[in-house]
Each structure stands twice: as C-alpha cells, then as structure tokens.
Chain A
C-alpha cells in the first residue's frame, strides 16, 4: 500500500442511461508513468474527469496518496498535488509566461489583500528555473503567449504543471495538435518528469509515443478497463487487439 499514489475501486460514471465508465479498478505506483489508451468514447477522458473532480462519480472509491478522497472540483484536486494539463490548455493568452505559470498562486512581495504587490522578479527567476529544468526554450518570457506557437504554449502549460505538481501529473493528449519537432520536445519534458520521479497519467492515441515513454499501458474499451499491460511484456499488435476488442472482450476489470 505504501508506494501506491492513486488507486480506484469500482469507479463508475453514468450520464443518464449511458455507461461512460464501468467499475474501473486502477493503480498507480510512485514514480510510475502510465498511458491510458482506447478508442474515442472508450472512457479515457471520463476516467480522468472523475479523478480530478471535474465531474462527480456515480459510484466507486478513489484513494490518493494514502487517503480516500472525494474532490469537489479540480481546484481541490490541484491543492492535493494533482496537476492536469487540459486539452484546451487553460492559459491566459494576454499574460506573459511567468504570469501564466503562477496564475492563481502568484508570489507576493507586499500583502494588501486583492491589491497585493506582485513579486515579478522572483516569479520571473523561478519561471526561468522551471523552464530550464523541463528543457523548454521560450525566447522572451515577457511576451504574451497569444502569439506563441502551439508547441511553445503546450510547453508552458506542461512546465506549469511540472513545476507545481508534487504528486501526480495528468496529461490529456498533450501532443495531439503539435508538429513533429514540438512533439519531440514535449516527449523530452515527459522523460524529464520520469527522471525526477514524478508519476504521470498520459492519455494518448499515439502508440509509438506510448511505447517510448511509459511503464504500463491501460486499455479502455466501452467504458471498461480491459487490459493493464507492462510495456516490456506487450507490443503494438497486442495493444491494438485490446483496443479494438479482438482480445479481452469477455474479460472483467483488471489493474
């Protein structure tokens, strides 16, 4: 039990009559990187939304970092150390890089309630550190991110998650909209997280990427977890067989 970061038992979500997620049993250990794969509508994003409190589950239990949790919303999840990189990025286009990195947890030099004076210098320095640590290159930190490339924006979002997440990072298709080079940069950042021992749940459609990056692959199909495969003991064909239902169709829940 000691090194288990996240565990779900019987996690279920129904939207009216639609069984989006059925009885999901899932375990994530310290330092582990897990990929969540599956067809569109297989329940991957639904699963993440239940963990991070974006939606309230219909049934089941979640343990995080040794305690049973029931997050009222993503903010509470964040306060417990779960950082999510959302598909729509959740960045403020008209702010510069440090302001985005510290959005909602700005460093203060002088506490005057809502009119507290910001410590811009410290935020800038710590942003520089965070970007160096995650190997992100941004030419000018004081530019607003509105006109940055998709890759740079994604990197800012990931750097933000990486610099605050103490316990778990969740990424929902972080490279879906990126070019080859930018994808490679994001993958480098993910390897860096692995080196630093920060656990990760990666939702991805890209099996090449999944096999490159993670320790374990959890396959969703029709709202159920149909397989949990160690990367070293499986291959692309095997995973595809589970995704498409050639294998594991009659199986119960795993993991």
Chain B
C-alpha cells in the first residue's frame, strides 16, 4: 500500500491557510473610521461653525459608539447563531417588546414618593422583588418565545421566515395586550443596574465572547455549522437536528430577553413599542460582519465587527452633522454593498479552487 500511495495521488496544490472573513470586515471598519477621521479634520472647509477635530481620539465618542450598538448587538449574537444554521429570526424586536413589558412588571416598586405606584401591574406581594426575579423572567420569556420558534421550524418544517414572522406579530400583540398599551414604569433601584453606565457594553461583550467560544470550541458550535452547511449530512451523521434547532432558537430568544432587560433597565420604563426594527438591525450587523444568509458561514466576532461598523457610521454621521434621513439611506446601501462584496469574494475563491 505504501508504494501505491505515491503513484496516483493528485498533485497537492500548496495552499495557504484560508484568509478569515473577519479580516475583511476589520479592514472595512478601519477604512470607514479613517474616512470619518479625515473628514473630521477637513470639516471647517464646508462648515464654518465647527473646528477641525479628531473623530477617534475622543473617549466619550468611542463609548457612545459601543454603547448605542450594545443592545442590538446582544440580539445580533443570537441572530448570528440562527443564521449560521441556515435560518432567520424576524421576531427578536417584538420579543424584546413583549419581554420588556413582562419583565418590567416584576421589577416595580410599591411606593413612588410616598404614593402607591401609579403604573402598578400586580399587587404589593409582587413588588419590590430582588432584581434577579425580573432578570430571570426576562431570560425565560425570551427563551420560551425562541423555543416556540424552534419547535415550529424543526417539527412542522415551515420556513424560519414564516415561523418567526408569526412570532413577530404575535409577540408584539402580547406586548400591547399585557398592559393594554400603557407603559410600565418605576423599577426598583436594584433593577436599574443592568442598564446603567457601561454595563450594557460589558454584558454585550461578555455574551459575545461566551458564544464566540461556544461556536468555536464546543459540540454546540460544530453542530450549528454542520446543520447550516448540509442538514442532510448532519442528519445522516446522527446529529439530532430538530433538538439542536430548538436549542439555537431558544438561545436567540433568551438573548432577545437579555436585550429587553438591559433596555428597560436603562430607560427606567417599558413600552409596548420597544424594539421595533431591532431584528433588522441585528440581521444587518450579522450580514455586514460576513455571516452568510445561506448558512454555515460566519462568526460572532464578525458580527461584533459588523455592529461596530454600524455604530461608527451612526456616530460618524452625527459627528459630521449629516441629517438622520440620509443616515438610513446610506446604512441601507452599506448593507447591500457588504453582501455584494461577500458574494464576489466567494466566487473568486471558488474559481481559485
């Protein structure tokens, strides 16, 4: 057998290690940040009211950049995992809304300035609870919504787009029904800790690191990529595809629950309209970060970089005094350009191989 091996082996092409997709996203992030940096110094040329100044050399601006993407970023961590399995989650924004209402109702104080809480949902026995209670309620509500998504997709074989679209509408309905459209306010002091200062950013970073490692180094990760890559192969290889999908969607839901927790804690109130369009921002972050909508490719690190691109653009436009209307138009264009670049890159690779 040893002598046979030499005769027919095809000429092994010397091949470098694959260039990780995240590098391209990082380059995009740096380029965009540098463009704003240069424009910042050139600004006085067309705006007389403003002095030349650095975009990046400003710690306050940097913390705003991260701060404003932290909450949608938490959602994007979950959505990324769903997209890697070849699915999509349109329900996360609505799940944030419903979870915000439900969690906040467990976080209320009994007395406000000596008067009974005017926004009270429950009686006094469910007020002034330790902050861990609403926190667990938030994670559990999100996880249940996600589990329903996962069960529908895994066992009824309906497309993820439809299952989560249904949840999107239903969860928004739950959010409105829960307090008949009234906001829920006056949380306990302890509850406000989740959203204060840099805590949202820390929670975002901690969850991103945790799930990045889970995707890279655990069974959970391999199976998530395998299912997104080739569900048939996964099934034949005795991976329990249905159970795994339920787990992934439950995690995505739970992360939407965490986002609702942080958001209500930060805003000190819950409203039924919270989280509208968050799902699309989260999906956009993932897509800009190189996560392929056809499944199997992408990483949390890429999504985090995509989220930072999002934050840099939003801050940069404000920095340059560009109108909010243009911001949306240009953001939309950037999403499309990111996908075009990714598709082109895949084609080029396929030709080389």
Binding site for B on A (CB under 8 A): 74-75, 78-79, 86, 88-95, 99, 103-106, 108, 112, 114-118, 120, 135, 137-140, 142-144, 147-149, 151-152, 181-182, 184-185, 187-188, 191-192, 195
* Residues in B whose Cβ lies below 8 Å from that of A137: 5, 9-10, 12
Q: A185 contacts B236, CB within 8 Å?
A: no
Are the C-beta atoms of B225 and A95 separated by less than 8 Å?
yes
Closest partner residue, chain A, to B352 (CB atom) = A147
Total of A-B residue pairs, C-beta within 8 Å: 123
B233 within 8 A of A: yes
Residues of B within 8 A of A79 (CB): 238
What are 5 A-B interface contacts by the 8 Å CB criterion?
A: A90-B232, A90-B236, A103-B234, A148-B353, A181-B10
Whether B239 is near chain A, meaning CB under 8 Å from some CB there, is yes
Chain B's interface size range is: 35 or more
Q: Tell whether B51 is near chain A: CB-to-CB under 8 Å.
A: no
Q: How far is the CA of A120 from the CA of B237 in the complex (A)?
A: 18
Question: Is the CB–CB distance between A95 and B352 below 8 Å?
Answer: no
B4 and A188 contacting across the interface, CB-CB below 8 Å: yes
Contacts of A95 in B (CB 8 A): 222, 225-226, 229
Q: Are A104 and B13 in contact (CB under 8 A)?
A: no
Compute how far the CA of A135 lies from the CA of B1 in the bound complex, rounded to whole angstroms: 8
- Bound state CA distance, A116 and B286, in angstroms? 25
Residues of B contacting A149 in the complex (Cβ-Cβ under 8 angstroms): 10, 353
Within 1-55 of B, Cβ neighbours of A (below 8 Å) are at 1, 4-5, 7-10, 12-18
Q: Does B349 count as interface, using CB distance less than 8 angstroms?
A: yes
Interface residues of B (CB under 8 A from A): 1, 4-5, 7-10, 12-18, 214, 217-223, 225-226, 228-230, 232-234, 236-239, 244, 247, 296-297, 349-350, 352-353
Give, as a whole number of angstroms, the nearest-CB distance from A9 to chain B: 27
Q: Which residues of A contact B296 (CB under 8 A)?
A: 92-94
Within 8 Å by CB of A185, from B9, B16, B228, lies B9
Additional A-B contacts beyond A90-B237, A106-B219, A149-B353 (7; CB < 8 A): A75-B236, A93-B229, A103-B226, A104-B234, A114-B219, A139-B12, A144-B18
What CA separation (Å) do A105 and B226 show in the bound complex? Answer: 13
Contact assessment for A185 and B8 in the assembled complex, using a CB-CB cutoff below 8 Å: yes
> Which residues of chain A come closer than 8 Å to B228, judged between CB atoms?
94
CB neighbours (8 Å) of B239 from chain A are 103-104
Min CB distance B213 to A, Å, is 9
B349/A115 in contact, CB under 8 A: no
Given A75-B236, A94-B228, A151-B10 in contact, is the A143-B4 Cβ separation under 8 Å?
no
Q: Per a CB cutoff under 8 Å, which of B12, B238, B297, B350 touches A104?
A: B238
Q: Which residue of B lies closest to A99 (CB)?
A: B222
Q: Distance (Å) between the CB of A123 and the closest chain B CB?
A: 10
Question: In the complex, are the beta carbons of A191 and B8 less than 8 A apart?
Answer: no
| Smallest CB separation, A210 vs chain B (Å) | 18
B352:A142 contact, CB within 8 angstroms:
no
Q: How far, in angstroms, from A5 to B198 measured CA to CA in the complex?
A: 66
Indicate if the CB atoms of B1 and A191 lie closer than 8 Å.
yes
